[in-house]
Amino acid sequence: MTQQIDPLVEEIGMSMWRVQRKIISQMSLHKEIGLTVPQFGLLHMIAQEKKSRVVQLAEKMEVKSSAVTVMLDRLEMLNLIARVQDENDRRAVAVTLTDKGEGVLKEAQYRSNLLISDCLSILEPEELQFFAKCFRMLEKQER
């Protein structure tokens, strides 16, 4: 027997899906600076870690290491990342952002924030605060 789903939960789920699709479709702004949405996410992860290994990045992205390697190859060709040998383990390679990569990431983050700001502009300030509070609660549940 399947469990009955609250119609409000179903409505929220569909709304979240539509908003996510709208935002992702408008992320073509990144194409102007030469990034895809997954590459933007990968650069963001590398920036957070400072030095990352391919295996760690693949785990965070929930993809195979080979998929991350292909993305890193492209980012390296664009001079956005550099691969450096780990000081403690010569067999291991760490990935870092180049100065150019940091600049492109900052621009992409700025453009993303503009897009999200535009999507959320229909909310009143107190609605926006409540919305943020709800998302923080959902985020804590994930940890």
Give 3-state DSSP helix, strand, coil % of the chain, rounded to 5: 70, 10, 20
Q: Which of 108, 112, 48, 52 is nearest to 78 (CA)?
A: 108
Q: How does pLDDT run across 56-107, given as a tens digit for each residue?
A: 888 888 888 888 889 999 999 999 999 988 777 777 788 999 999 999 999 9
Handedness of CA 30, 35, 36, 42 (dihedral sign): negative
Mean pLDDT of 104-132: 87
Domain 27-142 CATH (choose: 2.40.50.100, 1.10.760.10, 1.10.10.10, 1.10.3470.10) = 1.10.10.10
For residue 58, what are the CA distances in angstroms to 24, 69, 95, 110?
Answer: 21, 9, 12, 25
pLDDT at 79: 94
- Among 7-11, 20-24, 92-96, 103-107, the range of highest mean pLDDT: 103-107
Structure confidence at residue 20 as a pLDDT band (50, 70, 90):
confident
For residue 140, what are the CA distances in angstroms to 36, 62, 133?
Answer: 28, 20, 11
Domain ranges of the chain: 27-142
